[in-house]
Structure 1
Amino acid sequence: MQNITAEELKQRIDSGEELYIVDVREPGERAEFNIGGVHIPLGHIQAMQVDELEEWKEKELIVYCRSGNRSGQACMLLDTMGFTNTKNLVGGMNKWLELGL
């Protein structure tokens, strides 16, 4: 697992880069605000219900949550499942909104 900042991710989204993004928050949190990506709550990752991500195992996978804690846990779990390039969004959506991105 590596880290990515909100500023770095925003710049990459704005440049139109093809990104593989996973939101691990709960449905209610996602409904309030999200930056896109596949929605797989952390509990599903903990239960190893990640079939929809299987084709992304070799891709750079950017994972986010509200604060960066759950996404960090998700990255560690995904790493143990054979994902080779996970990145945790530091500060999560809290940081994203704080910076006004």
Structure 2
Amino acid sequence: MNLAQEQWWQQYQDDSNAIILDVRTEEEVEESSIPNSINIDIYKGQGFLDEVSNLDKNKNYYIYCKSGGRSNQACLLMEQLGFENTYNLLGGITEWTGPINE
């Protein structure tokens, strides 16, 4: 599900079962990231699928990338793997105005 950043962040904060997933490259993550996020690079291809498959499917995943494209793709892939609750951050970290690790 695609969510605008205010809704994405508010829903994450109200969700005791939430995990933030950053699907960018390690280089991008080193520049800046949203606090408490875990990083699995979608460009790893099968490696991404393997790592994501090990995640708890009962959690709710709030997913972001640079602009919202890769994270949308990650949501679709995760849904195919049986994850029921994935939320894509529209606009990605590029448009993010919330807390940030630099």
Q: Percent identity?
A: 34
Where does 1:1-101 land on structure 2 (aligned, <5 Å)? 2-12=1-11, 15=13, 17-18=15-16, 19-36=18-35, 37-44=37-44, 46-47=45-46, 48-50=49-51, 53-55=54-56, 57-96=57-96, 100-101=97-98
Give 1 or 2: higher helix fraction.
1
Q: Which amino acid aligns with 1:86?
A: T
> Per-residue deviation at 1:3?
1.5
Structure 1: gaps of 5 or more residues = none
Q: Distance in 2 between matches of 1:3 and 1:79?
A: 13
Unaligned runs of 5+ in 2: none
Preserved CA contact (<8 Å) 2:42 2:70 = yes
Q: Structure 1 residue runs of 4+, over 4 Å off?
A: none
TM norm structure 2: 0.78
Q: How many residues align?
A: 94
- For the aligned residues, what is the CA RMSD? 2.0
Question: How far 1:49 moved relative to its partner?
Answer: 1.8
Secondary structure class of the residue paired with 2:70: helix
CA distance, structure 1, for counterparts of residue 43 and residue 7 of structure 2: 27
